[in-house]
Amino acid sequence: MDSSNKELVLNQQTIHNRVQELGQEIAKDYQDKELVVIGVLKGAFVFMADLVRAIDLPLSTDFIQVSSYGDSTTSSGKITLVSSPKQLIKDCHVLLVEDIIDTGLTMQWLARHFSELGAASVRICSLIDKAERREHTITIDYAGFAISQGFLIGYGLDYEEKYRNLPAIYHLNI
């Protein structure tokens, strides 16, 4: 991809600083609780890796993979469970980690799913909050950045499975 196809939105240092702040806030809120941090694959893996290192608590990690996009840039409106966490959830405090929340459909579904599995609590942490696209009511307990426009790539965010490895976040001109 040549540089004319992307515009910098968040640089590495800005992302790093905010992830550190989120980690401190989460550590404070979950003191003396059994915390399970569950990343939503594939997009959250970079953010989650940095986030869990910023949470100064004993915790466990796992992943879930769902799909609502397929190969499209817009949600199909239907959630498909691709893979489940191996960790036992009952009576644990679950922190769902997502790269970006727009319509809210996936997070609403996941929060309900983990509540039904017997989680003591379910909270949501998202690197990017695109609230203007929200169609489903959800609460993002820990939001990194509110970004309203553009198709974003980098730091785990992809377009057609590419660009996740970029160290900053860019708007992709497609």
Residues annotated catalytic, as ranges = 102
114: tokens are 């983990």
Secondary structure of 124-169 as H, E, C letters: EEEEEECHHHCCCCCCCCEEEEECCCCEEEECCECECCECCCCCCE
Find out whether 77 and 105 touch, Cβ atoms under 8 Å: yes
47: tokens are 């953010």
Residue 120 buriedness (CB in 10 A; 0-12 / 13-18 / 19+): middle
Q: DSSP string covering 13-65, please? A: HHHHHHHHHHHHHHHHHTTTS-EEEEEEETTTHHHHHHHHHH--S-EEEEEEE
